[in-house]
Structure 1
C-alpha cells in the first residue's frame, strides 16, 4: 500500500505491516459488507436475492430476520432465544452495542401500541422546519396547489440554488414515511438543476403543509390479512415541458401500505391508454418483487394479487392481444402485464376513477379529495390523544429553541 500523505519515517523504503484498514478508505463499506455477509452466511443465514441487505434463517418453527444498513442492524424473529444467539454471535465477531427495542432507525421513529406500530419522522420533519424557518408558519391544507403545473420557463432563477437542492434532498428522504407528499416532491425534484422562484414557493408550500402535522406517519396493523392488492394510475402528458406522463401506484399488504411510487415515464405515450398500460407494467414489476421479498420472509400467497386500474382499455390490452394496431409500438417489456396475468401473479380489475387510491400520486388534489387520499393511505397523526403528549412536548421544545 502507499503510505498516507504526511507520514514521515526514518526509513522511507520500510515495509509496513497493515493491521487494520477499514474506516476512511474508499472500499471501507464494501469490505465491511463482505465481511459481515460472510459471517452471517457461515452462521446459517440466507441472503435474500430480492434485497441483499436482508438475511433470514429458518429452523423448524423458528424464524429470524436481520436487516442491515452499513453497521446498523435490525433483528426480529419468532424465537427470543434465536435472537439472543444472533446478538451473541455478532458481539463476539464484531463487538456490537445492543440498543434494545426499535425506537429510532436512520431518522425513522417507531411507536408500538396494542393495535400495531407507527413509523414516522417527526424529529426529522421538525429539524427541516427549524432550518428553513417554518416552525411558526401558517399551515397549508395540501402540499400542492390543485391544478398548478410547474415548468422550466416561468419565474426567475434563484440566487442560491444549493439551498433548493438541499431542501429537495431532505424532502425526498421524508417520503419514506410521508407518501402524501410524494407527488409534490417528485414535481419539485425536476428543477434542481436550475430552480426558479416559482419552484421555491411551491417547495415552501410543502413545508407549510408539513407544519400542519409534523408527526404524521404510516400505521401498520397487527394480525392483518396477508393479501396483496395494488392500485395503478397515470396522468397523461402531465409534464408541460416534455409532454411525458406520470406513473403512480401503491401496493397494500392487507390494510397496510408497503410500497408506493410517483415517477415520470421514460417515453411519451401516444394515448391515455398507453400511459395507463405503462403504469400497469411498473406496478406489476413491483408486485413481482414484493412476492420474491415476502417469500424470503416465509409469507406465501394462494390467490393472485388484485390490481385495480380505472382504464378499461389498459386492462383489455393486458388481458389479450386483440388491440394489435394500438399496441404494436409499445415496447416488448411493457407486455409483462399479460405474461403475469397468464401466470396467475396478478388479477386486473376495473375501479371507478373517484375510488382510485393512486390518483393522489399523479396529480395535485383538491382539499376534500386530498383528505380522503390521506385516509386511504393509512396515515396517522401522532398528535392524537392515544399517543399522549410526546409529540406536543417535542414541538414545544423545538419552537422554544427557534425563538431562543
Structure 2
C-alpha cells in the first residue's frame, strides 16, 4: 500500500495520492481509516481483508473511549460516556457542579495539607482524568498540577482532584470540534508565569495552536 509511517507516532500511517490523502491509525487489532480519496480507501480495505479478513463496521462512532459525531458542519470529538462512568466510579455522579476545574488563588505544593495514608485512590483519579484530558484542554492545567503529587498526595490534593470531578459533572460532554469550514490559517497562543511552582520555583508555560477555528494541539509544561 506504500503508506508512510509517522515518525512522531508509529501507529499512524499516511499516504498522499493523486486524488487526495488517507491516514490509517492502528491500535492492536483495530484500525481507523480516514481520507478524501475514496478509491484508495476501498483499495486499502480490500488489501487488508485479503490478508487479515477484516470487518468493516462503518462510520467511526466510538474508539478507545472517544466518541465521534460527524455532520456537515464538522467533526466533534468528546468523551461523555467516559466522563459519566468516571463520576459514577468515584461516587460523584450526584455531586454539586462547579464552574472552574481548579482554585487558581490557591498555590498547591508538596507540603500543602496532611499526607494521605493511602495514595491509591488519588492516583486512580488522576490517571483517569489524564486520559480524559485527551479531549478536554480545559482541565489540562489542573491535571498537570495534580499529577506532580502522586508520591506525596495530601488531603488538599485530593480535595483539588474532587473539584475537577465536580467541574466535569457540570460539563460532561465538553470536547473538541473540528470545523468543516476552515481557512487553514495556523494561529498560536502562549503564556507563562514566573516561578509559579512553590516547590521548585520553576515557571509554568503553555501554548495552544488553532488550524482555522479548530484547536489542534496544546501543552502545559513546568
* 1:62 Cα offset (Å): 3.7
Kindly indicate which of the two structures has a greater share of residues assigned to strand.
Answer: 2
Aligned residues: 222
Query: Once the 2 structures are TM-superposed, how far is the Cα of residue 71 of structure 1 from its aligned partner?
Result: 2.3
Matched residue, 1:88: 46
Q: 1:232-247 counterparts in 2 under 5 A? A: 232-247=190-205
- Return the alpha-carbon distance in structure 1 between the equivalents of residues 186 and 17 of structure 2: 26
Mark the structure with the bigger radius of gyration.
1
CA distance in 2, matches of 1:62, 1:149: 50
Kindly state the Cα deviation for residue 55 of structure 1 after the two structures are TM-superposed: 1.5
Q: What secondary structure does 1:68 align onto?
A: strand
Name structure 2 gaps, 5 residues minimum.
Answer: none
Task: Give the Å deviation of 1:63.
Answer: 2.6
Query: Equivalent residue of 1:194, what SS?
Result: coil
1:260 aligns to 2:218 (yes or no)? yes
Deviating beyond 4 angstroms after TM superposition, the runs of 4 or more aligned structure 1 residues are none
Matched, 1:58 2:16: yes
Which residue in 2 is equivalent to 1:77? Answer: 35
SS in 2 for 1:185: helix
Counterparts in 2 of 1:4-403, with a 5 A limit? 43-264=1-222
Report the Cα distance in structure 2 between the residues aligned to 1:246 and 1:59, rounded to whole angstroms. 42
* Superposed displacement of residue 143, structure 1: 0.3
| Cα RMSD, aligned residues only | 1.3
Secondary structure at 1:262 match in 2: strand
- Show the counterpart of 1:362: none
What is the CA distance between 1:229 and its match in structure 2? 1.5
TM-score (norm 1): 0.53
Following superposition, the deviation at residue 79 of structure 1 comes to 2.6
Rounded Cα–Cα distance in structure 2 between residues aligned with 1:49 and 1:128: 33
Cα contact 2:17–2:37 (8 A) shared by 1: no
**TM-superposition CA deviations, 1:122-167 (whole Å, max 9, x none):** 0110111000111110001100113111111121111221111011
Listed one character per residue, the Cα deviations across residues 233-278 of structure 1 (whole Å, up to 9, x for unaligned) are: 11110111110110111011111100001111xxxxxxxxxxxxxx
Q: TM-score, normalized by length of structure 2?
A: 0.95
For residues 275-331 of structure 1, the C-alpha deviation after alignment (integer angstroms, 9 at most, x for no partner) is xxxxxxxxxxxxxxxxxxxxxxxxxxxxxxxxxxxxxxxxxxxxxxxxxxxxxxxxx
What SS class does the counterpart of residue 204 from structure 1 fall into? helix
Q: Return the alpha-carbon distance in structure 2 between the equivalents of residues 84 and 128 of structure 1.
A: 38
> Per residue, is there more helix in 1 or in 2?
1
1:161-219 Cα shifts (integer Å, max 9, x gaps): 11110110111111111100011111100100121000000000000000001111111
Q: Matched residues in 1 for 2:174 and 2:19: separation?
A: 36
